[in-house]
Structure 1
Amino acid sequence: MSTPVQRRRASISDVARLAEVSVGTVSNVLNRPDRVSPATRDRVLGAIEDLAFVPNGSARQLRAGTITTAGAIVLDVANPFFTDVARGIEDRLTQDDFTVMLASSDEDPAREARYLRLFEEHGVQGVMVVPSTSDIEHLLTVRRRGIAVVLLDRPSPVESLSSVAVDDVAGGEMAVQHLLELGHERIAFLNGPHSIRQCADRWTGAVRAVTAAGLDPADALVEVTIPSLNADGGEQGTRELLAMDRVPTATFCINDLTALGALRTLRAEGVSVPHGMAVVGYDDVSFAAELSTPLTSVRQPTHQLGFRAADLLLAPADAPAEQITFQPELVVRTSSTGLDPA
């Protein structure tokens, strides 16, 4: 198998040689800096920075020292969407005897950066990342250190970086178009911050659908930014909707977990679904069809997302970058139409 090692990583011996100290002194700077004089410590740290040296915390190696571990950072591994994506990653990596280290960023750039450092220290060969912000410069820096990088669930803004994503503009458009076709003229969107690409793209699609229908987005769409993209966020956002003077007749949710929170709140408040308020989710995770009110949702090919991301990660270092975009699919169920699913 060709592996994506782009260049030899600097070793602790390289650092020692550049700083003109012993390997033991470099080790002390990394693990017991109080034992090293400030001048020597600064010289070693300068060499570490110049060489982009990353301490390797993993001793497990195969085939002439090739480490067979990859890292994956998603927004929230507790979200069934990302659980399914992770399974796709695992299924592909195991074909080449790779293991995967999985972490959640919780949409926190600092947490994402900490996990990237941890993965590097453990000698991962590559990382798949759902970026928590639109800025990916830190990921390009990781790649310059010789670690393969694939953007997951987000299209790459640069041609040189591989990515796997779903057309979320199309997904947002088909969800809102479905509600418009059912006669709704005031639709809520329980959304996350636009710094998250999926949130921004699905909103763009929603606006596109309303505009195409000849309605004014400022009146036909009500965006509510929720604090977390889970059931708690959906509950909080739905309470905010129900307190409005003009309550929307339909709600499009950023994901199925948010929709679950919306359904719970509507049931608790005695609002019938869909006749009091229609609800559409996004992702079509495993529980969507099993709810007491089966959830209409925009389906994403979760397993394929993970599988193809891992496939790109394992591509030879000299292979051209690929940007793969899947198309979503609307799955209509009771929560929007009131009809039993076919």
Structure 2
Amino acid sequence: MKEVAATAGVSVGTVSNVLNAPEKVTPATVARVHTAIEKLGFVRNDAARQLRAGRSRCVGLVVLDIGNPFFSDIARAAEQRAADNNLVVLLGSTDDDADRERAYLETFDEQRVFGLMISPSGEDLDRLQALRSRGVPIVLVDRDGTGSPFSSVAVDDIAGGRMAVEHLCSTGRRRIAFVGGPLSLRQVADRLAGARAAVEDHPGATLTLIDTAAPTVLAGREAGQQLAAGAADLPEAVFCANDLLAIGLLQALTSRGVRVPDEVALIGYDDIDFAESATVPLSSIRQPTTLIGSSAMDLLIAEADGRAAPEHICFQPTLVPRASTESEGRRPSGPVE
């Protein structure tokens, strides 16, 4: 840093400000310092900076499945908000594996991260509490933290599940299947609870549960094959716990000659980009992924800055109807309110 300062004709303190708080330095000086940095090939020792500052510029983000576009969209929004605050995001994907989650938590703790944003794989939050007791700010993502010491950003999945089934019932369908799992995932359980509540409000409606091992395209295909094998007893509609399951199920049904939506209506959850471009455009329950990611980062920064009380943000989902639940000329099979 002394060499950079001498080359740029500024003080060491100015170089430090350019690296850590560039808003305090004039643009011309920032440009001059960066020119010196490039000329000298300077790379600062961030580990040494962390020891001096007590924490890093890195935020740990742990999600259930980065292969799910829902979580990658959240990560993208979080990264953008982090960059606006001179922070970077380190990403971990647990695949709903408690051991992998534990390993990420230990690693991020060792790295003295600025804070942690996490979509927990289970209900046991003791390890998160231990981290928080050591001064690590923590925000729950896609999980309502009401009643816990953690701030949180979530979507009302019970309302979303109810919305999906009410939409199916509004098209006249009454024999409905719910495809999703594992039920140990809070999000899946809440969507099922909302679906069941909606069925109770519609006379003649029934809900059959098809539990899956994972919320993936492959699991959706397997569920679709299971349904198609019993073609004589197909449900009139299927609500999938997420869009990946719905896309897999759509592939399996159409490959076996089942017409969507004429024979089976289909709705997913999340409204990922692939939903609209599916072979039959997929109706879905939309979650505001950009708001989830950016809001979670805002809460984390606020906690790092000393906010005492946890804050809980719960967004409402919205229905996005498309061709997979529309059927021209269809008549209701039971009472319609």
Fold conserved (TM > 0.5)? yes
- Which residue is 1:223 aligned to? 209
Q: 1-side partners of 2:191 and 2:275: how far apart?
A: 19
- AA paired with 2:156? D
Q: CA deviation at 1:269?
A: 0.5
- AA paired with 1:297? S
Q: 2-side partners of 1:153 and 1:328: how far apart?
A: 12
- Which residue is 2:203 aligned to? 214
Q: 1-side partners of 2:56 and 2:217: how far apart?
A: 39
Out of 280, 291, 294, the position equivalent to 2:278 is 291
Out of 266, 291, 298, the position equivalent to 1:311 is 298
- Which residue is 1:240 aligned to? 226
Q: 2-side partners of 1:215 and 1:317: how far apart?
A: 54
- Which residue is 1:22 aligned to? none
- Which residue is 2:88 aligned to? 99
- AA paired with 1:294? P
Q: CA deviation at 1:62?
A: 9.1
Matched-pair identity in %: 45
Deviations 1:218-239 (A, max 9, x none): xx11111111211001001122
Out of 151, 160, 164, the position equivalent to 2:153 is 164
Q: 2-side partners of 1:330 and 1:164: how far apart?
A: 20
CA contact (8 A) 2:176 2:236 kept: yes
CA contact (8 A) 2:178 2:239 kept: yes
Q: 1:60 to 1:195 in 2, by over 3 A?
A: farther
- AA paired with 2:98? P
- AA paired with 1:264? Q
CA contact (8 A) 2:180 2:214 kept: no
Q: 1:203 to 1:271 in 2, by over 3 A?
A: same
Q: 1:308 to 1:63 in 2, by over 3 A?
A: farther
Q: How many residues align?
A: 280
Q: CA deviation at 1:135?
A: 1.8
- Which residue is 2:110 aligned to? 121
Q: 1-side partners of 2:290 and 2:300: how far apart?
A: 16
- AA paired with 1:221? L
Q: 1:59 to 1:221 in 2, by over 3 A?
A: farther
Q: 1-side partners of 2:249 and 2:312: how far apart?
A: 34
Q: 1:63 to 1:90 in 2, by over 3 A?
A: farther
Q: CA deviation at 1:59?
A: 4.4
CA contact (8 A) 2:182 2:215 kept: no
- AA paired with 1:266? L
Out of 74, 77, 82, the position equivalent to 2:63 is 74
Alignment TM-score, normalising by the size of structure 1: 0.78
Q: 1:58 to 1:265 in 2, by over 3 A?
A: farther
Q: 1:111 to 1:66 in 2, by over 3 A?
A: closer
CA contact (8 A) 2:178 2:209 kept: yes
Q: 2-side partners of 1:255 and 1:106: how far apart?
A: 15
Out of 250, 267, 272, the position equivalent to 1:263 is 250
Matched, 1:275 2:259: no
- Structure 1 unmatched ranges of 5 or more: 1-56
Q: 2-side partners of 1:65 and 1:143: how far apart?
A: 15
- AA paired with 2:207? L
Q: 1-side partners of 2:54 and 2:158: how far apart?
A: 43
- Which residue is 1:320 aligned to? 309
- Which residue is 1:330 aligned to? 319
CA contact (8 A) 2:228 2:256 kept: no
Q: 2-side partners of 1:118 and 1:66: how far apart?
A: 14
Q: 1-side partners of 2:282 and 2:139: how far apart?
A: 32
- Structure 2 unmatched ranges of 5 or more: 1-45, 329-337
Deviations 1:61-81 (A, max 9, x none): 398344111101111001110
1:32-71 to 2 correspondences below 5 Å: 58-61=47-50, 64-71=53-60
Q: CA deviation at 1:265?
A: 0.3
Q: CA RMSD in A?
A: 1.7
Q: 1:67 to 1:333 in 2, by over 3 A?
A: same
